[in-house]
Amino acid sequence: MSLAEDGLLIVAIDGPSGTGKSSVSKAVATALGIGYLDTGAMYRALTWWCVDRGIDLHDRSAVAREAQTFPLAMGTDPAAPTVQVGDRDIAAAIRTPSVSAAVSDVATNLGVREQLIRRQRELMARVAAETGGVVAEGRDITTVVAPDATVRILMTASEEARIARRAGELASTAAATRAQVVDRDRRDSAVASFMTAADGVVTVDTSHLDFDGSVKAVLAVVDEGRGRD
């Protein structure tokens, strides 16, 4: 089934770490009055779940089995997105440095990707049916999860800009953050292509834009893409 059926507005946004995908996507979804899905949070949630249960992240089959069944619930209101497993709110726990350091081991597990991509498509279809559309962001949304999205965007920013943004957030030095951002992108690139735009994907370079400028730039691409639809 095509996600973009029935006049629903499906906006797919990919890009490397620290380009502003999550913050900009939330603002864009809010402005458009549609749902928001942070797919990176799903890989983080599975990482947290496996560590919490003592599952070795290098045991690929065991982690992929958990991906199929773990009780994940993603809240898709862009004004207040939530991440829960069972009745436990793990929105803050999945942002800790230990989860950030381990998440690539989970995200590069192809058995995991198969399960989470299935869940992402189901969620996107449900949220879009409920709200008229969805903005989904990650690393493979424009290419694998929703290649037929109404609008497909690759958000980029120079390495310097991305490191400075992350360093500001983590209150760490640019040098310490460089390793985290660049190394994680290198590891994640093994299974998803998000450093260059695929055919038909519009690049939005946020290097020299402030936050509001990035939101406006994405909304302009959405407007143009809707017009073509």
Ligand X SMILES: Nc1ncnc2c1ncn2[C@@H]1O[C@H](COP(=O)(O)OP(=O)(O)OP(=O)(O)O)[C@@H](O)[C@H]1O
Burial class (CB in 10 A: 0-12, 13-18, 19+), 142: buried
Q: Which two tokens stand for residue 195?
A: 């450093």
Nearer to ligand LCLUPRNS, 169 or 223 (CB): 169
Residue 138 makes contact with ligand LCLUPRNS by CB under 6 A: yes
User: Which of 37, 85, 90, 107 contacts ligand LCLUPRNS by CB under 6 A?
Assistant: 107
- Residues in 157-216 that interact with ligand X by CB under 6 A: 165, 169, 206, 209-211, 214
In degrees rounded to 5, what are phi and psi of residue 19? -80, -15
User: Which of 40, 78, 147, 225 contacts ligand X by CB under 6 A?
Assistant: 40
Interface mask (CB under 6 A) for ligand LCLUPRNS, residues 159-198, using x and -? -------------------------x---x---x------
Residue 36 makes contact with ligand LCLUPRNS by CB under 6 A: no
Q: Which amino acid would we find at residue 6?
A: D
Contacted entry of ligand LCLUPRNS, ligand X, none for residue 152, CB cut-off 5 to 8 Å set by kind: none
CA distance 28 to 151: 12
Contacts of 5 (CB under 8 A, 6+ apart): none
**Helices marked H in the chain — which ranges?**
21-32, 39-52, 60-69, 97-107, 110-131, 159-170, 174-188, 211-228
CA angle (226, 228, 229) in 5-degree steps: 65
User: Which of 17, 143, 156, 177 contacts ligand LCLUPRNS by CB under 6 A?
Assistant: 17
CA distance 32 to 81: 16
Residue 97 makes contact with ligand X by CB under 6 A: no
**Least separation, in Å, of the C-beta of 180 and ligand X?**
9
Nearer to ligand X, 26 or 125 (CB): 26
CA angle (18, 23, 26) in 5-degree steps: 145
Residue 20 makes contact with ligand X by CB under 6 A: yes
Residue 40 makes contact with ligand LCLUPRNS by CB under 6 A: yes
CA distance 138 to 102: 17
Residue 103 makes contact with ligand LCLUPRNS by CB under 6 A: yes
The binding site for ligand LCLUPRNS (CB under 6 A) comprises 17, 39-41, 43-44, 103-104, 107, 138-141, 184, 188, 192
